[in-house]
Amino acid sequence: MVKVQEFIQRFEQFAPRYLAEKGDPTGMQIGNTQQPIHRVLVTLDVRPEVVQEAIAKKVDFIFAHHPVVFHPAKNLVTDNPQNAMYAQLLRHHIAVYSAHTNLDNANGGMNDWLAQRLALKQVHLLQPSYQRQLKKLVTYVPAANAAAMRHALAAAGAGRLGAYSAASFSSAGTGRFTPDATAQPFIGKNNQPSQVAETKIEVIFPDNLTSQVLTAMFQTHPYQEPAYDLFTLENAKGEQFGLGRIGEPQQKMTVQEFAQFTRKAFNVTGLRLISHHPQQIVKRVAVIGGDGGKFYPQVLQQQADVFVTGDVYYHTAHDMLAAGLSVVDPGHHIESIVKEKAVPLFEKWAKAAGWTNITFMPSELNTDPFTFIS
């Protein structure tokens, strides 16, 4: 049986909360972290109609991109529709977790999903803002226990290298030791020299996972006193994180054509194009999900000629035009891609962790507040 806290711990290996922008209300927002979960609804927004959908589907956990509590409640009077929604969630024991800008900044998260939908190539971070130091653990186990150790370390988050997981290196050797009279040896006898065929296992992991990786090693290791080495890697650049992505279009298009391509890619009925040069050929595209207009100076620094983001303000649009930047604004709701991308990701984690009796489902509702009319 999976508890809310267990799911959160797994998710925050992927998108740690420290990646969130300052002041962003990311994390557990409503409910009990020790509550078992069986049915999970994935949504962009938590609105009254989404809560009713969750109740109808007997959901006990909502995973949302946008926080349900953006601003602290001044009171709990349920005449207020927002407070009434909180009451409904609590009444039906539905816990809510929101992953906002930490999911935006995570590698393989929101902005990578948007870049994929735009079919960009040669994609890299728009603005690196955090670098995570890497460590290496080396331990030695009896050959018969090597597979179990590799599995446990991978489950704790070790061995993730870019798009690869469960990466490790093993080599065979001989371990030698003499248990004293007080020892309780797994192999060998007290006061007698012993030797055993051992496997040396090496894994790399980000330093924020040190505690859980070591815990997994100690819990899995059969020896009373495991031997291990722990190194900080000074010769390897740690994993970088940051807001936004920049890349190149797959095919030759003008700004006008790229805007039409974006509209179709995100299946929106309309969007806003901000450009003095609609016939210019697009060479570099930057994308930031949500409201990213304030980051346009960084987009210019990276020499992008088209910027895809939502909620561009009137005066900011004038500044963008003056700087020679073309902008495609398909709206904030394109982040609903979370429903499509997160469900299979969570199902993959559940299978790897042996979580049973848990179902993940996307919300079927469109929570975009805007309708385009002509």
pTM exceeds 0.85? no
User: Annotation-wise, does 65 bind a ligand?
Assistant: yes
Distance CA 314, CA 84 (A): 34
CATH class of the domain whose range is 110-129+242-330: alpha beta
Task: Tell me the per-residue pLDDT of 118-146, one tens digit each, with 9 for 90 and over.
Answer: 999 999 999 888 887 889 999 999 999 99
CA-based nearest residue to 241, from 132, 158, 115: 132
Distance CA 352, CA 337 (A): 23
In the chain, where are the structural domains located?
Answer: 2-100+335-362, 110-129+242-330, 134-237
CA-based nearest residue to 256, from 289, 228, 281: 281
* Res 58 pLDDT > 70: yes
Count other Cβ atoms within 10 Å, centred on residue 159: 22
* Res 71 pLDDT > 90: no
Q: How far is CA 176 from CA 142, 188, 323, 355, in A?
A: 11, 10, 69, 39
User: Annotation-wise, does 66 bind a ligand?
Assistant: yes
Q: What fold does the segment set 2-100+335-362 form as a domain?
A: 3.40.1390
Task: Tell me the per-residue pLDDT of 323-361, one tens digit each, with 9 for 90 and over.
Answer: 999 999 999 999 999 999 999 999 999 998 899 999 999
As given in the structure block, the two tokens for residue 339 are 């429903």
Please state which CATH number belongs to domain 134-237: 3.30.70.120
Count other Cβ atoms within 10 Å, centred on residue 75: 8
Count other Cβ atoms within 10 Å, centred on residue 158: 29
Among 192-196, 218-222, 357-361, the range scoring the smallest mean pLDDT is 192-196
Same fold, 2-100+335-362 and 110-129+242-330: yes
Mean pLDDT of 173-185: 91
- Pairing label, strands 61-64, 39-43: parallel
SS3 at position 254: strand
CB 312, CB 320: distance < 8 Å: yes
